[in-house]
Structures are given as structure tokens and as C-alpha cells.
Amino acid sequence: MGTTLIFEHVSKGFPGCGLVLDSFEVTVQPGSFVSLVGPTACGKSTLLRLILGLDLPDEGRIRFEGDSAGRADVCAIAFQEPRLLPWLTVHDNIDLVLSRHSSNRVGRVNELLNLVGLADFKNAFPKVLSGGMAQRVSLARALANEPDVLLLDEPFSAVDALTRMRLQDALVRIYMGRQRTTVMVTHDIDEALLTSQQVIVLSTRPAHIVDIVDVKAGYPRDRTDGNLFSLKTRILKGLGVVAMDQQDGAGI
């Protein structure tokens, strides 16, 4: 059945920052891919930390329902930076986090390396990897223990545009292989529309939901799809971005 994430009136603030999240309420369906988009510092990454249990809500709660209900350890996360240990090989960076495959860890690592297209680099050290390759290792590591909930915190923000597109395609292939509940924070609206079934648009801080955009296109998606462009326009309007030709007195 998979894991459902239920946010019930979640509020969170920090000393010196004030309220970051204000009565955030949404249900992430089991096996769905959801992206969070919104202004910088509006609370997107805070939501991921709350899911992981690294922070606790000031009000409200987050519930896990399904096969692993109530178990925060069903989650894994890939961060903006790969955070690889430089003295370990690619193979050993992945093996380090394995805990549920003690009987066949070598086989599991090889499976993950094939999944992210890095089988030929298993004995390489992080210093010789490109940014995109390092992010693939980070993604493989997040998937190592077969989490029911995968969290992605702007995982491709530090790579060039072409590499980012390739990583987006790889992420979609991985998701198609097993449709686990996935929540991604991104500032890239195109990325959200190419990968997600639902895009949650957040306001400025304290964050609340401005819009929830359903993306009905199947996978893989066409980057030139006009329907996606229409959804992008809707998201931009939700973020308060107005096209040049819609502004008073503006021209092209």
C-alpha cells in the first residue's frame, strides 16, 4: 500500500526568525511524487526536517499511515550537496549506510550503482567525480535501505543545466521503477513539472499553501509539452510572478 504523509495544522517557528510555517495542512498520497515550490526561506526545507524528525512542530503533527505507519526511519533524504566521505570509494560511501542488507551488501551496492549508471566508477574516489556523478551517488545512498518515503532537498541545484536535465530523467526512471512516496523541494518549476504528480505552491514566510497543481501527464514527459507550460504559468502566478506583457505599461 505504501506510506501516506499527513500534515495536520503544522506550525513551526525559530528564535530570531519568527513563524516559518503557519498551520500547514496537506495529505501526500502513498506512492505519489510531490514537489514543494516557493520563495527562498519560506519553510520548504523545514518541512523535510519535520518529516525526518530532526525538528518537532510547535503545533500540529505529522502522521505516517500505511505499511510503516508511525516509523520515521522509513524516510531517507538526498541533500543539495552530495556529502560524500572523500576517503571512501563510491562503493564504500554507499555500503556505509546499508543496514537492512547485511547478508548481501555487495550485491545491493552493485544493484544501486547500476540503477544510477555508475557501475564503472565503484572504485573511484569522490574527488574524481563530476558534480552530477556525485549527486548520483548521493541518490543511490538515499535509496540504499529501500525507504518508503524519499525526501529530496534541491538535489540538483549545484550542477549545470544539461547535467540537471540528465539527472531529472534519471530520477524519473528510478521513480518509475518503484513508485515510493517522494517529496522534493525545488526552486525549478520545470523540474517540478517534469518529475511530479502534484506541485504544492507555498507563500512567503510564514508559509501556507497558495495552490496545489495536479500534473496529469504520464512518464516520461515531453519538455516541450504545451500543457506543462500552462501549468508553469499557473504556478508563477501563484508565486506572484507576472509576465512582462501583463504589467502596467510594460512592453516586450
Cβ atoms of residues 131 and 98 within 8 Å:
no
Please indicate, yes or no, if residue 71 is contained in any of the structural domains: yes
DSSP 3-state assignment of 251?
coil
- C-alpha span between 152 and 135 (Å, rounded): 11
- 8-state DSSP, 208: -
Measured between alpha carbons, how far is 149 from 4 in angstroms, rounded to an integer? 9
Give the residue-averaged pLDDT of 152-166. 90
For the domain that residue 204 is a member of, what is the CATH number?
A: 3.40.50.300
Residue 16 belongs to what domain range? 10-83+149-226
Task: For residue 73, name the pLDDT band (cuts at 50, 70, 90).
Answer: low
The reply to whether 105 falls in a domain is: no
Listed residue (45, 51, 52, 54) closest to 187, CA to CA: 45
pLDDT digits (tens, 9 = 90+) for 201-232: 999 888 889 999 999 999 999 999 999 999 99
Alpha carbons 111 and 88: distance in angstroms, whole number: 19
Q: How far apart are CA 153 and CA 162, in angstroms?
A: 19
Whether residue 14 lies inside any domain: the answer is yes
**What pLDDT does residue 250 have?**
39
User: Is residue 51 a part of any domain in this protein?
Assistant: yes
Domain count of the chain?
1
Residue 142 lies in a domain: no
247 in a structural domain: no
> Does the residue 157 lie in any domain?
yes
Whole-prediction pTM: 0.89
Is residue 205 one of the residues assigned to a domain? Answer: yes
- Comparing 5 with 246, the larger pLDDT belongs to 5
- Give the pLDDT confidence of 48-61 residue by residue, as tens digits: 999 998 899 999 99
